[in-house]
Chain A
Amino acid sequence: MSSDYEFSDEEGDDVFDDDDMGMQDSDGDGDDGMDMDDFKVAPKTTRKAYELEYDSLTQASIEKLMEKDVEHIRGIFGVDASTAGLLLRHMSWNKERLIEKYMDNANKMLVAAGAAVPEPEPTRPSRRPTRKAKSPPKSETFVCSICFDDAPDLTPLALDCTHAACTGCWSAYITSKIRDEAEHACRCMAEGCALVAPDAFVRAAVDDETYVRFQELLVRHFVACTPHLKFCPYPACTNTVSCPAAASKTSLTTVVPIVSCGARGMSSASAPAASMTQSQELVRQASGKEHKFCFGCIIDSDHRPVVCGVALLWLKKCRDDSETANWIKSNTKECGKCMSTIEKNGGCNHMTCKKCKHEFCWVCMGPWSEHGTAWYSCNRYDEKGGVDARDSQSKSRASLERYLHYYNRWANHEQSAKLALDLFAKTEKKMEEMQITSALTWIEVQFMKKAVEEVDKCRMTLKWTYAMAYYLAKGNQKDLFEDNQRDLERAVEDLSELLESPIEPENIPTLRQKVTDKTVYVQKRNTIVLEDTADGFLEGRWTWNVTVDGFDGPEEA
């Protein structure tokens, strides 16, 4: 039954292994068995040109990486772990520079990192800032210099610098540093003292919740300092992705580093799974999308095939221009002589351009002098003057039209992608219907769901191909690109239509065959577009009609 439409070997990542939340490299091995029958996954043998190698890391594994670095520095300098940590944080986790500078002047480095007190006498590097109070002379009662409290049961507390304050003040101070300022380096409270509270001191001063936040801040700082690491931008997600291939700015002109942190959906959305109906479950899966984002830029969705620089250029243009352009197009005309854009907001058709004083007719755009005495009613639409004027106007509109052409298609696919949720629900209904009206089982109607997912994915690709095509320089390469784009678009629209078509019980076998075939075809076309574009970037085949960061300037035509 299943052998006649195995289209799974086209696709590396299988859509059904939702359980596989963890690492990327562990490919779905079908442990959830039943719905795997139709779509077997060929073991991932080769990476496609548009896929990058990356790893998803949890907060715990980042902490391990940090520990490793700390351990390394500790071994070399012979300092304790806490000091090594302070040094590394101070040097933004750049081990090479730290070692160089430390070897140059260890004491200076320790003071700068807030790990030692600047004193005229040389501080021993191994000296550890303790949280033990350097108690002030016992004879007089301790007065906290912060709250001015002098209660006898007050415990004075100080870093190595002996600037003592009471426990309550320390706790309030460090908590406010961590919670309000998101600062991981808590310096001594005394004026001008740069000593940083070591981790153990922080641990003792704050409650558990704040300490967890403190550790999170340390991890964030580490990730921010490491070019090949990036945080998952999805809300409440704490995973990190490591992608060395996209760590440098220059690599972003040749690859589109779309990665996924491995988690799905929102961590808070955890309704009891048992109470969910099939349809609710489907909606949840659709909204519980993979945390896919671009490693190279701030776009938190898949913008393949186009590279970050061009994608950002396009987004910026759309933000700035699209609405204005639409308005200009529908509300204004250009003066036939000086091409100023004119909005007619009242009055008769006899227009006088404010700029060049050209007099013309708003209706036919021809010069007003030809209108003779036919005031206020224009019947000269076909006269030569009017035709010429409209001609030149249409030329100046061409660039606007060109932009709107690409923008509308881009927006269209975006809109369709937004409607994907509805389509999911609708498809689910159809699948249920099919089970009732035909002998097919639930497993056997999965081809519908697969098709919908494929359409969604391809629309994403299509959307961005329009951004790319807008900026591609004219030439054979662009023609080829647009051919591929057209083929994919046609295939996607055909498949969409099939999915929307009504279901007659007697047609189901044919429909199923058709949908399955089309899905395979669409997948292939999508791969071709992505692969060819990615190869093009690697080979430096694409040229642009504007200046794009990291690329050669536009060629003069």
Chain B
Amino acid sequence: MASIASKRLAKELSEIKSEGCPVGILLLQADDFSRWIFSIEVLGDSLYQSEVHTLQFRFDPQYPISSPAVQFVVTDGKEAPIHPHVYSNGHICASILGNEWSPVLSVIAVCVTIQSMLASCKEKKRPLDDRMYVRNAPENPKKTQFEYHDDTV
């Protein structure tokens, strides 16, 4: 089934290359079908004006049946945006990356969702349990069982 994943990612990549990314999103690196890097920026009026963050996607052979592992890059001086659903280690608590993932969604769809998640934020703060979570968090955010409770932000 690995062929589905590579076929699908190849298609997504060629679409990105031919049609380009939505505004504020840039493909930085896609050397293989296991790890892609995007830069993401919220344009217009928001709390994150002129901040550029780096988003990393990791795919397993079951993609797109299983969701990609998505997180902000927090190494090499890069930082995760301060947001109630983003932990300081870059992990993101968003239902579409967990139980609401659907194979119909794509890499670009995820980018846009996260962009709008940032855009609609009203208060810049870390999640309440940030320190606790970061101390015990697994390396791969997909291994975390998130509770999705707040749909407003």
Contacts and interface: CB of A to CB of B under 8 A. Distances in A.
A172 interface: yes
A163 interface: yes
Interface residues of B, number: 16
A145 interface: yes
Contacts of B96: 191
A316 to B, nearest CB: 26
A298 interface: no
A191 B104 contact: yes
Interface stretch (A146-154, A352-360, A547-555): A146-154
Interface in B67-106: 96, 100, 102-105
Interface stretch (B7-15, B35-43, B126-134): B7-15
A8 interface: no
A137 interface: no
Nearest to B5: A147
Interface residues of A, number: 17
A147 B8 contact: yes
Nearest to A187: B102
Q: Is the interface of A mostly helix, strand, loop or mixed?
A: loop
B141 interface: no
B1 interface: yes
Interface in B1-44: 1, 4, 7-8, 11-12
A122 interface: no
Nearest to A163: B104
B65 interface: yes
A176 interface: yes
Contacts of A168: 4
B102 A189 contact: yes
B102 A172 contact: no
A192 B103 CA distance: 11
A149 B7 CA distance: 8
B1 to A, nearest CB: 5
Contact of A176 (B8, B62, B100): B62
Nearest to B1: A172
Contacts of A172: 1, 4, 62, 65
Interface string A259-279: 000000000000000000000
A190 interface: yes
Contacts of B103: 145-146, 165, 169, 173, 189
Contact of B8 (A148, A189, A190): A148
A2 B135 CA distance: 73
Nearest to A166: B4
Contacts of B11: 147-148
Nearest to B109: A191
Nearest to B101: A191
A146 B96 CA distance: 16
Interface in A169-214: 169, 172-173, 176, 189-193
Nearest to B11: A148
A147 B61 CA distance: 13
Q: Interface centre among B8, B12, B104, by most A CB within 10 Å?
A: B104
- CB-CB nearest 10 A-B residue pairs: A148-B11, A191-B102, A189-B103, A146-B103, A147-B4, A147-B8, A173-B65, A172-B1, A190-B104, A176-B65
15 contacts: A145-B103, A145-B104, A146-B8, A146-B104, A147-B7, A147-B11, A168-B4, A169-B4, A169-B103, A172-B4, A176-B62, A176-B65, A189-B102, A189-B104, A192-B102
